[in-house]
Each structure stands twice: as C-alpha cells, then as structure tokens.
A and B are shown apart, each in its own frame.
Chain A
C-alpha cells in the first residue's frame, strides 16, 4: 500500500545497498550537482554554495575562445575515425579468424592479439614514443632505405592518424571476441544451404555472416557512440605535445590543462557539462535507434 514501506523480509537487501549507494551518491551524483560550477565564478575558498552566479557567461566566454572550436572539431574527427576504423577492423579480423582451420594456430593468434589491450597507455605511450622518435626503431629501419629521419610525433598533420592506427592496433584483437561470439550463434544449416546453391565463400560472408552479426554490430556501434566525445583521452595525453595541439588536442585534454592545471575551474566545468550533455543525447538517440533496428535491449 505504501510505496516507501519496506517489507521486513527484504530489509537485508536494503542494508546491503547502503554502502554502494552512498559511494555513488558522493562520487557520482554530487559531481553531477557540482556542474553548477559551470554557471558560477567558482572560487575554491567559497565553494559551490557561496561562489558568485554568472549565468551563461562561462559558456559565452568558452565559445569565443578560438581553441575551443578547434578542440571540439579535433575530438569529433578523431573519435569518428576511431569508431569507424576500429569497428570495421574488428569485424574483418573476426571473420578472417573464423576462417582459420587449425585450432592450435587460431588459439595462439587469439592469445597474442588480445594482449595489447591490457597494457596501459603509459606503457604503450612509452614504447611508441621511443619507436617513433628521431633515433627510434622506425627511423632506424627507414634509414636503411635512405629515408631521412622523421620525428613522427611532432608532425601535426599526421597526429590524428597516428592516434587512430595505434589504438586500432591495440584493441582490434580484443574487439573480435564479441564478434566471434556472434558468428558462432549463426545457424550452420544456412551455410550448408548456401553451398548447395553454389554460393561462393565471399557471397556466404556477405549474405549470411554479416547479416547474422547485425544485432551485435549495431549494439557495439551504439555503445561506442556514447564515447564519441572521449576520443581516447589517456592515449592523447601520452602522445601529444605543444607541436601537435592544433590537430591532437581534444576536449578532455583541454579540460585537464585549462580546468585543473591552470585553475580555470568554471571554464573546465562548462565544457565538461557540454560534453556530458552531448554524450547523453547521443547515447539516448542511438539506444532508441538500436532498439528499432535490432530489437536488442542493452539494459
């Protein structure tokens, strides 16, 4: 009868939830309330409650900074490329992996190509910074063919592509797990029937394997859309330098430099809020689309 009355037998369940609920309240929900900073001239000494209100001033200031437009464009460009390239790569590698006949070879390959996913970007960044440096491995090899040393990581025009290719290399292997699972759920009689009809291997992939993976593909793309304004923050932070800010600076790295290192708290909070709202809209829209297309409920 009363919605707030707790049945006695269920009391233990509520007690169990207290610690996780409190932790999330403080470290997930309070920061959400903390976005009021974006509408204040926030001063740490005054806190959230006593800082001056300035309405939309921070947003107005923000979108007048020329860097900000560039940073948003960089983020969208890098993230969109990553989503497309990484999804296509994972699907293609999963299909090709599935064609391997030898079980031992297949398992060995899987074990090896999943591995880079588990290394942090500090380690990977350290390795790539060394390999791509003036005296690094890549230049040593190129030098044997008479190519002059290239300082890869200071070439602004190459930087987004370096980000996309290194991350694709890192996560493609692990990304195949989901798609391999999708392939195994496809009814084998479909292939038998196709062989009877004389369909080539390529035709089978096109008309049976890919459609069979459709709902998984839609699901994975949907999930990644939520991260479109993320663009691989840790990777960028490890690899970029002032020389590559023009093409490589993304929202999160900008927030970090402005919002924390230079103590422009309110500006940082404002673009952070912008980013969160856009992500929320994208997740909601893509979730609804995914549900229409593939009838797959994520939650």
Chain B
C-alpha cells in the first residue's frame, strides 16, 4: 500500500532534497581541494576558485614530483601498509581461531578471551606506551608503526565470530580424516572465510595508510615520517605561522595553498581508489560481526 497523499509527496520531495544537499556536502570538499590544486596560485589567492580549476595549472604537481621528502614519506607509508597488513592479519587469524572454539574443544578459551578484551577496557595511556616502545628498541624504526598496534581486538572478535558460524561438521569430518588444528585452519577455515578476510585486509590497509600520530611520536626525525605524519607537520606548522603573522607572510606564500591542496589530494587518492571495493564489503562485513550466533 503506497501512500500518495499530498503531505506524503511533499515529505518525499524535501527528504530527497535534504539528502542531495548532504551528499553534495560530502563531495564538495574533495572537489574544492582538487580545483585549488589545479589552479594558478594567483587565482586561488584572489578567491576565484570554487569547484572548477581557474587558469588551469599543473605547477603544484610538478613541484611535488620533484619533492624528494614527499616521495620518501610515501615510501615509508607503503612499507608500513605492507608490513602492517601482513603482521596484523597473521596475528588476528592466530588469535581468532583458538578463540572460536568452545570450552570443550579449548580448555582455557574464556581465559584468553578475557586476556584480549581487558586490553580494550583499560590502557596504560600514551606516556607509558611510549616508554615501552622506547625500551623495547622499536623507537625510530618502522616496527614501531607496525607491531604495537598490530592486534585489533575488535577484528579478532569479528573473525572468531565468523569462524564460530562455520558448521561443526566441516571440522569434525576433517578430524576423522586425521587433520590437526593447523591443517583445518589453513585449508578449511581460511578458504571458507575469504570474504571477511578480504574485508579485514582492506580495513587494515586503510587504517595503516591513515595513521599519523604514531609516526609523529615514534619517529625522531621528519625523514622517516610516513606520508600522513609528514603532511600533518607541513599543514599544521605553516598554517599557524600564516595565522599569527597574517598579512606580512601572505604574499610570500601565494603558492602554498595550491601545493598543500595537491598533497592532500594525493594522500586521499588511495582511499578514493579502494573505496568502491570496500563499499561492497563493509556493510556485510560489519553485519556478520553483529549477528549473534
């Protein structure tokens, strides 16, 4: 039964309009940044650029292409994404499989489940964590960005929930055939849970690409910063200078905004690129975790 009254139609119209505005607000900032990065800096300063490049120019991208600091940081980011995803997936799978077992199959299941959950409830805080990273000699190495944050307990619970929903018969028949837990995990469970593992991989990659605070605290100098940490310093530091010295500095920094805009846009490209793949998975991925067995 479809309601066709006037009030209903007005509501539908307004509702649709509201969502168009909301959607535009989510696109416009990216479009604006792209437009700035592709415009001539004089046009940007004059405030002429909104959503389309004015006096098209690739100058800022040419500048970045030659900027070795930027590419260096990009390299660190790629390295951390690759290492980070591999290590955290390995640890997540190793933790999720035993935790998916019942108490009968795994005697200390609830002990280890609590061992993980407690780390979600309480943390030592920033300063002690920093000291531990320093004392374990990870400070100033790529491992500081990869190991301390390797286990997301939430992801472990998500994956072990998924494992738990795999029919028991699959496992039992494998046991009868003489397979051990390692075999069952490697050749049965992992094959059966490829969609959720793919989801977790993409999410881990995005998380690593986006992280920046750990780069700033665990790396002693800017040369070893991943891209987002490097960007943070150039965005925040010079902007505060612009605000405090306002107009005097302004003229000497005319091209600053286009260069920043192009770097911001490049940093967002990988996310734009994987987003369509993620979008397919994340709704189902999240739901799998939420559904109680």
A positions within 8 Å CB-CB of B: 6-7, 10, 12-14, 16-17, 19-21, 23-24, 26-35, 37, 42, 44, 47-48, 93, 96-97, 99-101, 105, 108-109, 111-116, 118-120, 122-131, 133-135, 137, 139-140, 143, 151, 153-154, 169, 173, 177-178, 181, 195, 201, 226, 233-234, 237-238, 241-243, 252, 255-256, 259-260, 265, 268-269, 272-273, 275-276, 279-280, 283-284, 299
Q: How far is the CB of B78 from chain A (nearest CB, A)?
A: 16
Q: How far is the CB of B21 from chain A (nearest CB, A)?
A: 11
Pick the contact of B124: A123, A237, A272 (CB < 8 A).
A272
A238 touches B29 (CB 8 A): no
Question: Which 9 interchain pairs have the tightest Cβ spacing?
Answer: A272-B125, A31-B124, A34-B128, A120-B210, A12-B181, A20-B95, A28-B119, A13-B98, A268-B127
Q: Which residues of A contact B197 (CB under 8 A)?
A: none
Looking at B59-67, B166-174, B264-272, the stretch in contact with chain A turns out to be B264-272
| C-alpha gap A241/B3 in the complex (Å) | 53
Give 7 new A-B contacts, CB below 8 A, not counting A34-B131, A35-B128.
A17-B112, A28-B124, A33-B124, A34-B127, A112-B23, A126-B261, A181-B290
B33-51 residues with Cβ-Cβ distance < 8 A to A are 33, 36, 45, 47, 50
User: If the complex has contacts A20-B151, A21-B112, are A201 and B19 also in contact, measured as CB distance less than 8 A?
Assistant: no
Q: Does B176 contact A (CB under 8 A)?
A: no
Q: Does B222 contact A (CB under 8 A)?
A: no
When C-beta atoms are compared, the residue in chain A nearest to B133 turns out to be A27
Q: Which residues of B contact A33 (CB under 8 A)?
A: 124, 128
B130 touches A260 (CB 8 A): yes
A32 touches B124 (CB 8 A): yes
A109 touches B236 (CB 8 A): no
User: If the complex has contacts A12-B181, A113-B22, are A7 and B128 also in contact, measured as CB distance less than 8 A?
Assistant: no
User: If the complex has contacts A21-B115, A169-B25, A275-B125, are A129 and B239 also in contact, measured as CB distance less than 8 A?
Assistant: yes
User: If the complex has contacts A20-B91, A33-B124, are A113 and B32 also in contact, measured as CB distance less than 8 A?
Assistant: no
| C-alpha gap A47/B210 in the complex (Å) | 32
29 contacts between A and B (CB under 8 A): A6-B107, A10-B107, A12-B181, A12-B182, A14-B98, A16-B94, A16-B95, A16-B182, A20-B92, A24-B115, A24-B151, A27-B148, A31-B123, A31-B125, A96-B15, A108-B23, A109-B19, A113-B26, A115-B275, A118-B271, A119-B271, A125-B235, A125-B236, A130-B36, A169-B26, A173-B26, A201-B8, A237-B236, A238-B232
Q: Which residues of B contact A233 (CB under 8 A)?
A: 213
A112 touches B127 (CB 8 A): no
